[in-house]
Amino acid sequence: MSEIVIDRITSSLPDFLAKQEFSKIAVLVDEHTKELCLPLISEHLPPHSLIEIPSGEVNKTLDTCQSIWSELTNQGVDRKGLLINLGGGVIGDMGGFCAATYKRGIAFINIPTTLLAAVDASAGGKLGIDFNGFKNHIGLFQEPAAVLIDPLFLQTLPERELRSGFSEVIKHGLIADKDYFHQVTAEQLNQSNWNAVIAHSVHIKNEVVKNDPRESGLRKILNFGHTIGHGIETHFLGTDKHLLHGEAIAIGMICEGFLSKKLCGLSEDELNELVSIIKGIYGKVEIAKSDFVPIIKNMYQDKKSTNGLLNHSLLKSIGEATYDIAVDEKDVLDALFYYNQLPD
Ligand code: GLY
């Protein structure tokens, strides 16, 4: 597992760089992290080059990878080089993928600048890109050399981004820690101690990943809300109803909460609590009935779907998850209807 440090970046970055020599260092940024985050670390970076890509999930593509690989080549980065991914989930997933495949693999570290990347995407070794519109369709597992988390970067985020990342924090509570779920949802985005929240979420994720790094079993519980959520995210990607990852996962958690009650014994009271808390934070998104079938079609591309079955990770109760639950299309349709019928 990677070294994960939650500390001031002004000390964790120089500490990491002092431990090892790299022949060249390239820093991957997008237009936002170049403007808002790079200045926070630049005086702690040795000579380096910059690789800038356009922000957003819509650019997590093979075309963007080609431009990253071209830049690494043009800048003469060799196998002893280091790529520093400075950004959110897209930069970490795609930068890691490019580093892990460039010259059969160079070292990379993640400096997550969003809540989503800090608590979820930057650790655990899942790397990849979207392909033909499907989320994370091409990729591999490889751990970064280190993940350097500094909650200071959260101050650079628009509220919508922070809220999006917060759905992964809620998910951690729902799948593994009921008290944490209540504690974080009571304070919502006004957490008095983001350090502690990030540390606890990272701890929950690490405990799961440590037991199943390649997602052959237990790690699937981290996908609660993601089977339907990814289907929805993919459906709206690149449209004017585009949803951020965590916004789609929030809807997915409500739909999969419904399935959890139907199939795994989640109590009605706990379902109602989950729905009222998530809807209170994310509101309700209009998803037309005509969107249901294409959303379900997308779900067959989910990596948990095998032999034509829509496998889900669901809740037995708040704080306890289970996985590999085969759900038929009719139940998924009912779950989407359930969301659709909720009061605004
Ligand atoms: N984002 C879920 C996982 O890393 O397994």
Q: How far is the CA of 202 from the centre of ligand 1 (A)?
A: 11
- Beta pairing partners, 321: 315
Same domain? For 130 and 269 the reply is: no
Select from 105, 135, 156 the last residue of a domain. 156
Same domain? For 216 and 81 the reply is: no
User: Which residue minimizes the CA distance to atom 3 of ligand 1?
Assistant: 222
Q: How far is the CA of 10 from the centre of ligand 1 (A)?
A: 28
- In the chain, the N- to C-terminal Cα span, in Å, equals 43
Known catalytic residue at 182: no
CB 113 within 8 A of CB 87: yes
Burial class (CB within 10 angstroms; exposed 0-12, middle 13-18, buried 19+) of 281 = middle
Q: How far is the CA of 123 from the centre of ligand 1 (A)?
A: 8
Same domain? For 327 and 197 the reply is: yes
Same domain? For 146 and 184 the reply is: no
Known catalytic residue at 126: yes
Q: Which residue among the candidates 85, 110, 136, 223 is catalytic per the annotation?
A: 223
Q: Could you tell me the CATH number of the domain that includes residue 185?
A: 1.20.1090.10
Q: What is the pLDDT of residue 306?
A: 83
Select from 156, 190, 208 the last residue of a domain. 156
Q: Which residue among the candidates 205, 261, 304, 312 is catalytic per the annotation?
A: 205
Same domain? For 67 and 209 the reply is: no
Same domain? For 24 and 117 the reply is: yes
Same domain? For 22 and 142 the reply is: yes
Q: How far is the CA of 165 from the centre of ligand 1 (A)?
A: 13
Q: What is the pLDDT of residue 241?
A: 94
Per-residue pLDDT tens, the chain, 344 aa: give them: 789 999 999 999 999 999 999 999 999 999 999 999 999 999 999 999 999 999 999 999 999 999 999 999 999 999 999 999 999 999 999 999 999 999 999 999 999 999 999 999 999 999 999 999 898 999 999 999 999 999 999 999 999 999 999 999 999 999 999 999 999 999 999 998 999 999 999 999 999 999 999 999 999 999 999 999 999 999 999 899 999 999 999 999 999 999 999 999 999 999 999 999 999 999 999 999 999 999 999 999 888 888 888 999 999 999 999 999 999 999 999 999 999 999 98
Q: Could you tell me the CATH number of the domain that includes residue 52?
A: 3.40.50.1970
The set of protein residues with a Cβ atom below 6 angstroms from ligand 1 is 120, 124, 126, 219, 222
User: How many domains does the chain contain in total?
Assistant: 2
Q: What is the pLDDT of residue 216?
A: 95
User: Which residue minimizes the CA distance to atom 2 of ligand 1?
Assistant: 222
Boundaries of domain holding 211: 159-341
Same domain? For 300 and 242 the reply is: yes
CB 264 within 8 A of CB 317: no
Same domain? For 121 and 170 the reply is: no
Q: Which of 93, 116, 120, 253 to mutate to test the pocket of ligand 1 (most atoms within 8 A of CB)?
A: 120
Roughly what angle, to the nearest 10 degrees, separates helices 159-176 and 245-264? 20
Same domain? For 196 and 234 the reply is: yes
Same domain? For 175 and 106 the reply is: no
Q: What is the pLDDT of residue 344?
A: 87
Select from 105, 125, 156 the last residue of a domain. 156
Burial 150-173 (b: 16+ CB within 10 A, else e): bbebbebbeeebbbbbbbbbbbbb
Same domain? For 305 and 219 the reply is: yes
